[in-house]
Every structure is written in structure tokens, then in C-alpha cells.
Amino acid sequence: MLQFKAGDQRAFQHLFDKYKRRVIGYCNRYCGHSTVAEDLAQETFLRVYRAAQHYKPKARFSTWLFKIASNVCLNEIRKPIYRQRLESLQASPDQDRNLPDHAAMDANPIQPDHLFEAHERQAMVAQAITRLPKTQRAALLLRVNEEFSYREIGAQIGRSEGHVKTLIYRGRQQLRKALSAYFGENDE
Amino acid sequence: MNSICKVDALLSAYLDGELPARQSAEVERHLADCEACRRSLQALQHTDTHLRGMAAPEPSADFDRRFWQKVAAVEKETQRSPWSGFWLKGWRPILAGGLAGLVAAVIIYHHGRQALGPEELFIAEHMEFLKNYELLGNLEMLEQWDAMESMKEQS
């Protein structure tokens, strides 16, 4: 990032290529839809590009990158258009298999027979994640999937380490409860 | 899950390796004896496995192209308005200074107005008349001529 700040455009290209899949994956898990996730990932990298001149290496680059990605995701789900967009995409199921179907979840908490097929399992997990409170969701994903420390997550979402610990504990408990309804407590 | 066991609340941080060494050792000792907490820990591990098992989507074919188009647009915008950086960087101190000046002016003006009671204000406004015709009952006021002049200006 410091190389890019010094004017080396290839350094940014390298960062983009290195992290784009991770950022798309994070945004996808967070918002529950791959098309939206791509837009959010692009917005994240655009913010990095614009902010390069003000970048100060206080922490790992990835910590800063995922702080921006978390802000972008949090902003997105606050928008009323997010829900509308999600609902309109739900109407076209072929576009995305990760789509959470909240209406179906509410109407029928016990899911159908082919539950254990891999894609269905992933859809169930995606649904459960998008139902977590937004900060809890960010903390849990940053820990479990991105493997940041509690201290780093605190810096990313603007909370103390103690608060992060509580958020992750509650997130895990809630997710465990939701998934046990589908898979049982100790399936594997 | 054993709802009585206090260690259950520590299992999440234990799983993440975020407990202090002494506390972590206590949890390990407890796990050796507590079947309920072992099951609870296993369930949390399975939850994490489900989370990690979510496949990350591959970027769409035009993901890179769309992104670099946006970057090009940002660059174009920056070149078109070279002063935009200055204004983005400089407007906050300018605004803060302006607001501070405005607040100070209001306080000074308001304080000046409050210092003049109705009687003093009348005297200040009719200073020349009262002086010329020696109608000013309060002679002490004439001894403070400079102060009275400044009151007049403030009014």
C-alpha cells in the first residue's frame, strides 16, 4: 500500500488481485447475495484507492481493508433499497444460490427433505448469518472466516475487545441454535 | 447444554485462543471433567465448520473490467477538478474558523447590549443634548465620559 501511495499503480493492482476473492467472500457472507457482494467489494476497493494518500500503516493492511469492507456492508444493509434489492433478486432464483429466503424461513422453520445437499446446507447457513444483528454478524465473520484477533476486530468495528468477545459469543450461540434446528447439534 | 456451568460462557473465547493462559488452563481442566461443556464446545466447533464451509463465489467474468472502469472514472474526475483535493482537505479548518469567529462576534455583541440598562442607553443616545444643556442629573456619569462614549458606540 505504501508503494501505491508513492505512485506505483502496479502495487494497487497487486493488492486488488490478492484480496478481491476474500473481500467478495466476506461481503457475500455478510449480505447474503453474490451480485450485491461484488458491488460492495468494488466500493471497498474504490475507497481504498481514494484513501491511499491518507493511508498510515498503523496496523496490517488487511485489518484496514476489512474495516472499510465492514463499513461498506453496514452502510448497505441500513439502506431501505437493500431489502428491496434482495427481494427483487429473490424473484429470480437462478441468479444466485445464496439468496436468503426470510419469508420461507418464517413460514416453515423446519426445512424440506433435501436439506442435506451441499447447496441447500449453504443456503441454510447463509440465511442464519443474515439473521444475526449487523455488528454481531461482522464480528463473527471477521473472526471465524477471516481469522482476525479480537483486538483487530475491535479496531475494525469500533468496539472494545471485551465487547467483541461478547458479540462473538452471542453470535456463535445464536447461529448454533439456528443451525441445530436444521442439522442437529453434532452432525458432521 | 449445561446452563449451570459458568465455563460455557468462556468456550467461545477459548476456541479462539483469546483467553489468558491461566484461564485457558482452567477451562481445559474443567473440560476433562464436564461432559456437557465438551459437547457444547463440539457444537461451537461444528458451527464454525459450517461457517467456514460456505463457498466464496468466484468473481464474475467482468468484475475486474467494471472495477477498473470505476477507477478510470475516479481518475478522470480528479484530473478535471484539480482543486477538489484542496477543498476536501481544506474546508473543515476554514469552516471551523468561520464558525468560531461568528460565535465570538455574537457573544461580544450580546454582552455589549446586555451591559447597557435602559437608563444608561437613554443617556448614551442623548449624550450631546444632555451635555450641552447640563440636564444630566447624575454628574458622576460625566466624569466617566470615555466610558459613556464607548457605550454610545456599542449601542
| Residue A29: C-alpha distances to residues A55, A125, A150, B92 (Å) | 27, 9, 19, 37
Q: Per-residue pLDDT for A92 more than 80?
A: no
> A100 falls in which pLDDT band (50, 70, 90)?
very low
Q: How far apart are CA A21 and CA A187, in angstroms?
A: 29
Report the gap between the CA of A84 and the closest CA in chain B (Å): 22
What is the domain count for chain A?
A: 1
Q: Per-residue pLDDT for A94 more than 50?
A: no
> A97 falls in which pLDDT band (50, 70, 90)?
very low
CA-closest candidate to residue A135, choices A161, A162, A167, A165: A167
Q: How far apart are CA A67 and CA A158, in angstroms?
A: 9
The reported pLDDT for the residue numbered A86 is 65
Q: Per-residue pLDDT for B116 more than 60?
A: no
Q: Which residue of A37, A50, A145 is in closest CB contact with B51?
A: A145
In angstroms, the first-to-last Cα distance of chain A is: 41
Question: Which CATH number is A9's domain given?
Answer: 1.10.1740.10
Q: In this prediction, does ipTM exceed 0.85?
A: no
A134 and chain B: CB distance < 8 Å anywhere? no
Is residue A47 included in any domain, yes or no? Answer: yes
Report the gap between the CA of A152 and the closest CA in chain B (Å): 12
Give the chain A residue nearest B60 (alpha carbons).
Answer: A38
| Domains in chain B: boundaries | 6-52, 104-155
B-chain CB neighbours of A98 within 8 Å are 57
Is residue A137 included in any domain, yes or no? Answer: yes
B-chain CB neighbours of A28 within 8 Å are 56-57
Higher pLDDT, A47 or B108: A47
Is residue A14 included in any domain, yes or no? Answer: yes
Give the pLDDT mean for A103-121. Answer: 56
Q: Which domain holds residue A109?
A: 2-183
CB pairs under 8 A between A and B: 97
Task: Please state the pTM of the whole predicted model.
Answer: 0.69
Q: Per-residue pLDDT for B128 more than 70?
A: no
